[in-house]
A = this chain, B = another copy of it.
Amino acid sequence: MEGEPTLRLRIFDLNCWAIRYLSKRRRERVRLIGDTLRREGFDLVLLQEVWSEQDYSDLKVKLAGCYPFSHYFRSGVIGSGLCVFSRFPILDTFLYQYSLNGYPYMLQHGDWFCGKEPGSRAGVTAPLLSLSLQLHAEYCRDKDAYLPHRLVQAWELAQFIRHTSKAADVVLLGGDLNMHPEDVGIRLLRGWTGLRDAFAEATHFEGCKNGCTLVPDNCFTDKSELLPFPLGIRIDYILYKAISSFTVKCEELKTTTGRAPGTDIPFSDHEAVMATLHIQRQGQPAGTTLGTADPALADVVTEARTEVGVGLQAARRQRYSSGRMAVLALLLLLLQATAALGTLAGLGTEQPFPKLSFCLLAFLALGVLVLATGLHLFHTMEVKMLHGTEDQMWMVLRALQERP
């Protein structure tokens, strides 16, 4: 970037919804995404939910000409789903793993398996720090059990950006944050890092109303999810900020509008977000740009800390009940062992010993013991992580309040 007076950077971000066997018309859509990317020639492409490494390899082969550099973030049980294609060399990559990402036993939500280790990765191309990522999904807005987890993730992401961004000139974040623009997690992330929202800053906007990326016009979206939001919701973002002696302006932001340009099917169940940024070197260093120090930030951190505290209470309750369940199962097993020993010692021989039901009960108790112990360990970790995040937030709040 050195020496150039202005760099025009075109970025493409999309949650591809490319789950093998589950996503509708996956192969066709991946082919369509590849064709469009090759035709449009962006500078940087951030994709999420490319769950199959085969799809990534196909895209890589197709895009080798115009995006010579690419990286797929390998991890987790299924894979991370995250990949980056770039016209500029990718100098280095670095992975960050959130400490909390849902519950392993919520199989139908799946974030733990495909998200915990992988969905949380950040691709770093210095001096441009670019992050492609996905936060924990929201499954029920009214009774959102994952809110504390998502807040911990937003906090860890903000901390990660604060601590790694000094090595970059510009920070770019594109991804499916699974949060509405006014949600506390987004406010926390933006407030604590100083990242700016390309949609809000864009000089020129073209696309779905309010920049929505989950819209009823898209034939793949889950219509019931959008019932309370007839215009759609905005959960995919491109955020950016300049470090040191640079300025970044968002010239244009576009979203697709329910279908891919020139076709009758969409790229995915999410709309693609495309930004054109102008990056310019300034005369003098702009000084620190880490977050804003206004009282509003303290309010946001306080609000987030309260939510994390609510999650901590719930996690403590779950830890307690799983622990109690484990103890009860253990007691039952001990009781059974006593009864079996009694029978072996010849007590109560006048009655026939019910072997089958005894056996079934013992296995049931053993199963409950194993499960409840596993849950207890899991919720213990959850309590520690939530408590640790609460501590960190408190430390930051103290520092914010001490500042003049």
Contact = CB atoms under 8 A, between A and B. Distances in A.
Interface of A: 71, 73-77, 79, 90-97, 99, 113, 117-118, 124, 156, 159-160, 162-164, 166-167, 355-356, 359-360, 363, 377, 380-381, 384-385, 387-388, 391-392, 395-396, 399
A159 B94 contact: yes
B94 A163 contact: yes
A318 to B, nearest CB: 15
Contact of A163 (B79, B164, B388): B164
A79 B384 contact: yes
A186 to B, nearest CB: 21
Given A166-B166, A363-B363, A76 B381 contact: yes
Nearest to A118: B384
Given A97-B97, A99-B117, A359-B360, A74 B391 contact: yes
A310 to B, nearest CB: 18
B359 A74 contact: no
A387 B74 contact: yes
Contact of A384 (B76, B359, B360, B399): B76
Contact of A95 (B77, B91, B388): B388
Contacts of A118: 384
A73 B389 CA distance: 10
A100 to B, nearest CB: 10
A188 B64 CA distance: 32
20 contacts: A73-B388, A74-B385, A75-B99, A75-B384, A76-B381, A77-B380, A77-B384, A90-B395, A91-B399, A94-B159, A94-B163, A99-B117, A117-B384, A117-B385, A118-B384, A162-B167, A163-B167, A166-B167, A356-B356, A359-B360
A167 to B, nearest CB: 4
Contact of A77 (B71, B91, B381, B388): B381
Contacts of A355: 356
Nearest to A74: B388
A98 to B, nearest CB: 8
A250 B77 CA distance: 45
A160 B122 CA distance: 12
A381 B75 contact: yes
A92 B396 contact: yes
Given A93-B395, A117-B384, 18 more contacts: A71-B391, A75-B381, A75-B384, A90-B395, A91-B399, A92-B159, A92-B163, A92-B395, A94-B160, A94-B163, A97-B99, A99-B117, A117-B385, A163-B163, A163-B167, A355-B356, A356-B356, A359-B360
The 3 lowest CB-CB distance pairs between A and B, nearest first, are A166-B166, A74-B388, A166-B167
